[in-house]
Structure 1
Amino acid sequence: MELNLSAVTKPVERLIATAQNGLEVLRLGGLETGSQPSPYQIVESVPMYKLRRYFPPDSRPGHSHVGEPVLMVHPMMMSADMWDVTREDGAVGILHVAGLDPWVIDFGEPDKVEGGMRRTLADHLEALNEAIDTVKKITGKDVHVAGYSQGGMFCYQTVAYRRSKDVASIIAFGSPVDTLAALPMGIPPNLGALAADFMADHVFNRLDIQGWMARTGFQMMDPLKTAKARLDFLRQLHDREALLPREQQRRFLDSEGWIAWSGPAISELLKQFIAHNRMMSGGFAINGQLVTLTDITCPVLAFVGEVDDIGQPASVRGIRKAAPNADVYETMLRAGHFGLVVGSKASEITWPTVADWVLWHAGQGPRPANVVPMEDQPAVRSETDTGVALASRVAHGVGEASEVALSLARGAAGAVGAAGKSMRTLAVETARTLPRLARLGQINDHTRISLGRIISEQALGAPDGEFLLFDGRVHTYEAVDRRINNVVRGLINVGVRQGDHVGVLMETRPSALVAIAALSRLGAVAVLMPPDGDLEEAARLGGVAEILTDPTYLEAASRLSLQVLVLGGGESRDLQFAEDADVIDMEQIDPDMVELPGWYRPNPGLARDHAFIAFSTSSGKLVAKQITNFRWALSAFGTASTASIGRNDTVYCLTPLHHQSGLLVSLGGAVVGGARIALSRGLQPERFVQDVRRYGVTVVSYTWTMLREVIDDPGFALHGNHPVRVFIGSGMPTGLWQRVTEAFAPARVVEFYATTDGQAVLANVSGAKVGSKGRPLPGGGQIELAAYDADRDLILEDERGFVQVAGTDEVGVLLARPRGPVDPTASVKRGVFAPADTWVSTESLFRRDADGDFWLVGGRGSVIRTERGVVFAEPITDAVSLIGAVDLAVTYGASVGDGDTQVAVTAVTLRPGATVTTADLTNALTNLPVGLAPDIVHVVADLPLSVTYRPVVDDLKAAGVPKAGRQAWYLDAERGEFKRLTASVRSQLASGQ
């Protein structure tokens, strides 16, 4: 029998080849390919980075022409050599052949550089910012910046930081923008945000990631693909020729391509761009400067990996909304995360497309066929939209399961995800809200609670947490807390003690917030002086002995014959005041030289203690409002709970801090929620949208008609994404409410009603019923609706003498069971529903619908009693405001005849170019829930507003019955419809007939 030698020798040869190749891999880490890296020149070398220029131009005459510059940015965990894994098929090589000028920024290996493991995210962005300047200076051309994964995030952030200056375009490969839209491995957004926040605060502030850890984490993102690649390598270890083409890529991913990652940089990445998702919302900080991607105006090309589980398509496409002022394009590849930039598809599709993109913008070719405008993403993602489906990942990794089986798996996973998402959301909100409500419910007269104390708690728990935003800068809780303590020392040095009443007359700026908080921490009472009011009267009513002011109001304060303490003022401190004024510059006091007295204990305020005095105007007179620590805490905890304010939020304070809304709602809600508060210099409609995006505003506070100024501004426009999720405040007209929610969809309005003493608080949390004040705030005390006879202005009692409870949709007086000190001016009632019980009457009239929601009907003093019967102002105003043509509306009583009777009048202003018809009025005012329709409706040119944007009706009341005309109508009571008001009908009404 003839011996087949090949059958014997081939296995032996294969075994020997496997052994030889395996020994080479063990000894050298891989097979020697003989490939040489592309040539480059180090153009700039500083401790933070090196700037490489690949294929540097020949300096000889006639050889100096170079193409368009492309600056490539690697992610922190991966070596800059990723752009040159193989010379022929790598990024720099392909771009060079296409006639471009490739540059690479190399952040180096931080664990091998002094101070490298203390690098922050801002260090990397500043480095890229400098590198762009260098490339521009050397080439004289605008730069195309291209980044992979986190490197692309660097590009977006840096270009926004420099407002697109000298940048031709951004090219990003698998770079997440809307990070919570689709997290890797299908992690739920709420869970991912919480985990990222925890890791940032408690892990990576103590831990760095080494290169092997980064490599392992990357491989674990796609374990099937990693295992398959290793198995293929082992099975082909005998065939050197088959392995060599992919050997450099394998070595890069298995060992050589990974570098260490500093803990501070990871912490910032997790906190700002995952937990807070601020690439979408805006308001992320670079060296204290607030930045938003809306400042990107250059073109953007995003490469999207169809099966990329790290930079998932939904997340990458977030750039379309985040940068509405840029032309955004995309190229879709069926590739994983690394396959976008390295490998066969990258060399065949990605880099030729990049070259064509750059040449197109240089006017040297057409737009690449596979580059298409990125479409707008749905405003609300579906419940099952969690990113790259598990089915797609498995199919891409192994390709073994049938499409039918995968579809079933995808459907089952989606059903489970949809069922679980609402439960996860509920769990997160419950975990956030319950502790606040529990703490609120435990407050009694002797509880130590105050603004100063809560700020201390937040600074202790999250010292690096961002707190105060102003003029584009950000200040941390720790920095603000330290400044407060320094001001406390200054106050003690000039003789301020616990319990003293100190006036605060300051612009709304960081120093004003610090001054108010410092007085709280000292246990003094901050008397919030209205700059536009009678300062002498305010000082008298507030019992002020000293006044804290800033350079802006120094001259006015120095005229009050009080000791004046000057604080803050920013860069300009030109202090001008009368020669005989008693003025102390607080900024000249060295807090370290102040010895604290034995009596001082920080944050001594009890819930029952007076903390603030605010002012309002009633009938032209200044009225002082005493605010206790309990009242402040009730509003603060209530706002944070009902609006679900947390560390991811930024609260935009449009009202000044001396106004109760600014102090109690905006500042209080932000501090209790651990959120950021953005202070404004007053309402500036033309800057509103810009500030919302720059600060990343998620919560906007308002009063009355304030937001009308914003959406009626001629320049108002929302393009792309906006971060606002909720508006909080009180008094918003129903028509404006609808317009605001339409303009800022899907944001909602949370409308509050609260008495000055805080004994009764209502909140419309869902916003579903436009105009409703909602339901009692949990933890805010007990309230009840007393039955009321509007004709006789009496609270009704039963046969035993106790007060009756108003039925469904019956008008009643809102009563509150007092907690804490009772305002001495309040209407106190005892033995109301039970022997010896105590209730406080708010003197406000409400109705309660079948669902338990409360609707304001008006005040007892605002009831209009006409010849036809009782008219309630608020239901009429609410109904008329919902007419599309109506801008603002008010309802009031005008005295007629001998002055004992009134006619009910509704005045409206119209939106530009709009008209109101009799049919509009009849339809709107038919079947009011309570009370009668008005006698007269008339159009006025304008409605004056108070400083809090509340319509003022004093002049209209004084004018009496409106004149007849084309824009005035009266109610024909017999027919139940409105008709044009004539002179004869007006005469009859004015005479009381």
Structure 2
Amino acid sequence: MSMALPVALLASVALLLLLVVTAWSVPFFWQDLMFFTTMTRSSLRCRRRLAARPPVTLLDVFRRHVRLRPQQPLLIFQEQIYTFEDIERRSNRAAWALRRRLGLRRGRTVAVFLPNVPEYLWTWLALAKLGCPMACLNCNVRGRALRHALEAAEATAVLASPELREAVEEVLPHLRRDGVEVFYLSAASPTAGVEALLPTIEVAPAEPPPAELRAGVTGDSRALYIYTSGTTGLPKAAVITELKLMMVASLGRVCGLRPDDVVYTALPLYHSAGLLVGLGGCLDVGATCVLRSKFSASQFWPDCRRYNVSVIQYVGELMRYLCNTPQRADDREHGVRMALGNGLRAEVWKEFLRRFGPVTIWEFYGATEGNAGFINYTGKVGAVGRANRFIKLFAPFELIRYDVEEEQPVRDGRGLCIPTKPGETGLLVIKITKNTPFHGYAGDSQKTEKKILRDVLVKGDAFFNSGDLLMMDSEKFIYFQDRVGDTFRWKGENVATTEVEATLGLVSFIQEVNVYGVAVPGCEGRCGMAAVRLKDGATFDGDELYAFTEDTLPPYAAPRFVRIQAALETTGTFKQCKTNLVKEGFDPGLVRDRLFFRDAARRSYVPLSAATFAAIRDMRLAL
């Protein structure tokens, strides 16, 4: 016993010295370790809450804040201020009304078809109080895509806004045939046969519905469906469980969000960033959210000053818009201390800090349906995060070589994927484990299976295929490079080329169409372009195509450029070739085919002149 203590002490000292030496020799060691500790605490907190009996969900966390700070503003929208207690009472009334009017029971899915309005928040909480998952419909979807989205989530009711009346009425006969009930969350209804539900909600009891209505809800229960575009061309309903909801909502806390913060978001609530990170983060820590219906570059900083905003949410394009506004003497006169978002390119990042002051930027990377992601906790400009040696033990990922032409990973002689080297672009794949499960999409198991890549490092393993190309440098910082497959990103939205192709294929003079994204100077993401083969004897009608796309496609999905070709290039398996088209872009000096430009002022697709191209190239003409 007398010798055991010195030996143990020596071992401890040796271990400590080893840690110190390692910390000095390995760059960012302590930052990696500290962030790993923060993430571990956050993960354990979420899992511990949901492992309790009964489980403590994000709804329960919100109600705890109601008790602690009932009169603190939770939501500010235009001139309206809603305290935690206000939202609690409104969501209680909505829960009672929905249960009685729709006969809702636990597990029944209800879709919301709403813009950014306060109703979004209290409807979400109301459905949670009934144990009902909410399907968050993209306000831009129409027709067949809208019906498909409802079918995928097996939604039996839709709560819509009168602002979306035309979209509702277009599919209303089909929904009635399928037994889907439709209501407006408003005082009056503009559509015959569709009830306005707000009067019923306003007279419902303000007391909370009994907890047993959601008895049986666990961390694995489905809380939300959030839609993401994919290569199928139709919306895919990503499954968000109660555990994933709480984990994503805790992202703000991980980055330093506090109860006294005021968070400003103009991001759409049908996306995970706005709903889960923004509103969800405020529910988690008890902060205040300032919600704007749509982003306005001219009103952004005046809003931040008016509402004493301390935290802003962004996507890369939003920050670019801010940097492109005319400089003002009061650019740095604001109280914003932190920005939280994704898609911020290095040049915009630097310009934003130079112009608007020392705001701490937390850039993150993640897919709505993904099983893990990255957070840039070091502030490295342009990076989305780091390959943290500690976190990777619990959330293994790889960047693997990817053949863009063949649109598949490169494999070695054993049939396994090949990890990339530092500085080499590769496909991000994340291992599917108990700690990092992949819940996939509702409605079609084949869509879920297509996102799983097997036999990656060893035979029999399974990884989530992100569909994104990233690069890791020699210091293990990770940078987003591009998207693969048929989907590209424009104006903060994912555009599925196959969906646009199917729509344009209905135009009277179009025989074949190939849609792809092209880079535009000064713009994030890729802009839509369509290579078109006309029907024999037909002529291109720019007026007709403009009117058709305006009626059938969301604004961000309508191609800005059209290229007329005698024949569309395909592979031996009849897949359309996009690589050369993407490289050639829309430069009339390089492309011999006829090119057309979507001119909003003339409401037509007009010939793309060298002068117009130069204006776009020199960023004098905004798209």
Give the TM-score normalised by the residue count of structure 1.
0.42
Q: Which residue is equivalent to 1:497? A: 105
TM-superposed deviation, 1:708: 2.9
The alpha carbon displacement at 1:564 in A equals 3.4
Q: Aligned pair 1:855/2:463, yes or no? A: no
CA–CA distance in structure 1, aligned partners of residues 522 and 32 of structure 2 = 42
Distance 1:577 1:594, change over 3 A: farther
SS at 1:491's partner residue? helix
1:616 Cα shift? Answer: 4.4
Relative to structure 1, the CA distance from residue 582 to residue 906 in structure 2 (aligned partners, 3 Å threshold; closer, same or farther) is: closer
Q: Is the 8 A contact 1:469 1:677 kept in 2?
A: yes
The answer to whether structure 1 residue 438 and structure 2 residue 44 are counterparts is yes
Question: In structure 2, how many angstroms separate the alpha carbons of the residues matched to 1:909 and 1:426?
Answer: 34
Which residue number in structure 2 is paired with residue 509 of structure 1? Answer: 117
Cα displacement (A) at 1:507: 3.2
Change (3 A) 1:452 1:905: closer
Q: What residue number does 1:810 align with?
A: 424
Indicate conservation of the 8 Å contact 1:844/1:858, yes or no: yes
Match of 1:471 in 2: 78
Distance 2:32 2:372 in 1: 27
CA contact (8 A) 1:445 1:608 kept: no
Q: Partner residue of 2:60?
A: 453
Q: Is the 8 A contact 1:566 1:587 kept in 2?
A: no
SS of equivalent residue, structure 2 residue 86: helix
Distance 1:579 1:809, change over 3 A: closer
Residue identity in the other structure for 2:134: A
Q: Which letter does structure 2 place at the counterpart of 1:546?
A: A
Structure 1 residues 443 and 820 mapped into 2: Cα distance closer, same or farther (>3 Å)?
farther
Distance 1:834 1:620 in 2: 29
1:565 maps to a residue whose letter is F
1:911-933, Cα deviation, whole Å (9 max, x unpaired) = xxxxxxxxxxxxxxxxxxxxxxx
Match of 1:488 among 76, 81, 95: 95
For 2:334 and 2:423, locate their aligned partners in 1 and report how far apart those are by CA, in whole Å. 38
Shift of 1:680: 0.6
Q: Which residue of 2 aligns with 1:822?
A: 439
Identity %: 21
Displacement of 1:728: 1.8
CA gap 1:947/1:607 in 2 versus in 1, 3 angstroms:
farther
Distance (whole Å) between structure 1 residues aligned to residue 113 and residue 159 of structure 2: 6
Report the AA paired with residue 820 of structure 1: P
CA distance in 2, matches of 1:734, 1:475: 37
State the AA in 2 paired with 1:664: L
Q: 1:948 deviation in Å?
A: 10
Q: Which segments of 5 or more consecutive residues in structure 2 lack a partner in the other structure?
A: 1-30, 491-496, 498-511, 524-548, 564-580, 591-609, 611-623
Check the 8 A contact 1:554/1:576 in 2, yes or no: no
> One-letter code of the match for 2:588?
K
Distance 1:835 1:531, change over 3 A: closer
Instruction: Give the secondary-structure state (helix, strand or coil) at the position aligned to 1:721.
Output: coil
Q: 1:598 to 1:438 in 2, by over 3 A?
A: closer
1:505-538 per-residue CA deviation (whole Å, 9 max, x = no partner) reads 2231222211122222322122222333206642
Contact 2:92 2:209 in 1 (8 A): no
Q: Does structure 1 conserve the Cα–Cα contact (< 8 Å) formed by 2:226 and 2:368?
A: no
Report matched runs for 1:620-659 at 5 Å. 621-629=233-241, 630-641=243-254, 643-659=255-271
> Would the aligned equivalents of 1:703 and 1:949 in 2 still touch at CA under 8 Å?
no
Structure 1 gap segments, 5+ residues each: 1-424, 864-872, 878-891, 893-898, 911-943, 966-981, 983-993
How far apart, CA to CA, are the structure 1 residues paired with 2:404 and 2:329? 46
Tell me which amino acid in the other structure corresponds to 1:438. L
Q: Are the counterparts in 2 of residues 785 and 815 from structure 1 also a CA contact under 8 Å? A: yes
- The alignment status of 1:725 with 2:337, answered yes or no, reads yes
1:373-419, CA deviations, whole angstroms, 9 ceiling, x for partnerless residues?
xxxxxxxxxxxxxxxxxxxxxxxxxxxxxxxxxxxxxxxxxxxxxxx
Aligned residue for 1:707, secondary structure, equals helix
- Tell me whether 1:749 sits opposite 2:357 in the alignment: no
The two structures have a TM-score, normalised by structure 2, of: 0.64
Question: How far apart are the structure 2 equivalents of 1:461 and 1:714?
Answer: 43
Distance 1:654 1:481 in 2: 23
Per the alignment, residue 231 of structure 1 pairs with none
Q: How many angstroms does 1:904 deviate by?
A: 12
Q: CA deviation at 1:687?
A: 1.7
- In the alignment, the residues of structure 2 paired with residue 534 and residue 509 of structure 1 have an alpha-carbon distance, to the nearest angstrom, of 20
Q: Which amino acid aligns with 1:847?
A: M
Q: Is the 8 A contact 2:73 2:81 kept in 1?
A: yes
Which residue in 1 is equivalent to 2:129? Answer: 521
Do the aligned partners of residues 718 and 948 (structure 1) sit closer, same or farther apart at CA in structure 2, a change above 3 Å counting?
farther
Structure 1 position 496, deviation (Å): 1.7
Residues 696 and 428 from structure 1, CA distance in 2 versus in 1: closer, same or farther, beyond 3 angstroms? farther
Q: Return closer, same or farther for 1:743/1:947 CA change in 2, 3 Å cut-off.
A: farther
1:964 to 571, 589, 610: 589
Q: Deviations over 1:455-491 (max 9, x none)?
A: 2233244434432122244333233223222211111
2:457 to 833, 843, 860: 833
Task: Verify: 1:579 aligned to 2:204, yes or no.
Answer: no
Q: Check 1:541–1:789 CA distance in 2 against 1; reply closer, same or farther (3 A cut).
A: closer
Q: Name the CA distance, whole Å, in 1 between partners of 2:125 and 2:132.
A: 10
8 Å CA contact retained: 1:705, 1:949: no
Task: Report deviation, 1:430.
Answer: 10
Radius of gyration: which is bigger?
Answer: 1
Q: 1:760 aligns with which of 372, 391, 395?
A: 372
Cα pair distance change 1:576/1:909, threshold 3 Å: same
SS in 1 for 2:423: coil
The offset of 1:652, in angstroms, is 0.8
CA pair 685-787 structure 1, distance change in 2 beyond 3 A? closer
Aligned pairs for 1:50-69 within 5 A:
none
CA deviation profile, 1:145-203 (whole Å, cap 9, x unmatched): xxxxxxxxxxxxxxxxxxxxxxxxxxxxxxxxxxxxxxxxxxxxxxxxxxxxxxxxxxx
- SS in structure 2 at match of 1:752: strand
In structure 2, C-alpha distance between the alignment counterparts of 1:695 and 1:431, rounded to whole Å: 34
State the secondary structure of the residue aligned to 2:256. coil
CA distance in 2, matches of 1:660, 1:698: 21
| 1:12-31 alignment runs, 5 A limit | none
C-alpha contact 1:764 1:775 (8 A) present in aligned 2: no
Quick check: 839-848 or 430-439, which moved more?
430-439
Corresponding residue for residue 400 of structure 2 = 786
| Alignment-mate amino acid for residue 529 of structure 1 | L
Letter of the aligned partner of 2:190 in structure 1? F
User: Which residue in 2 is equivalent to 1:336?
Assistant: none
Q: Does structure 1 retain, via aligned residues, the 8 Å contact 2:349–2:381?
A: no
Deviation string 1:582-613 (CA, Å, 9 cap, x unpaired) is 444454553339996896136x5433333223
Q: CA deviation at 1:799?
A: 6.8
Q: Does 1:615 align with 2:615?
A: no
Shift of 1:758: 2.5
- The match for 2:23 is none
Q: Do 2:49 and 2:57's aligned partners in 1 also have CA atoms closer than 8 Å?
A: no
CA distance in 2, matches of 1:657, 1:732: 20
State how far apart, in whole Å, the 1-side matches of 2:316 and 2:111 are.
27
Task: Compute the displacement of 1:436 (Å).
Answer: 2.2
Residue 904 to residue 588, structure 1, CA distance change in 2 (3 Å): closer
CA distance in 1: counterparts of 2:302 and 2:119, whole angstroms:
24
Distance 1:794 1:685, change over 3 A: closer
State the AA in 1 paired with 2:99.
Answer: I
Give, in angstroms, the shift of residue 555 of structure 1.
Answer: 7.1
- Structure 1 stretch displaced more, 466-475 or 792-801: 792-801
Which digits, 9 at most, give the CA deviation of each residue in 1:316-342, with x for residues without a partner? xxxxxxxxxxxxxxxxxxxxxxxxxxx
Q: Matched residue of 2:521: which SS? A: strand
2:365 alignment partner AA: Y
Q: Secondary structure at the match of 2:318?
A: coil
Q: Distance in 1 between matches of 2:32 and 2:477?
A: 22
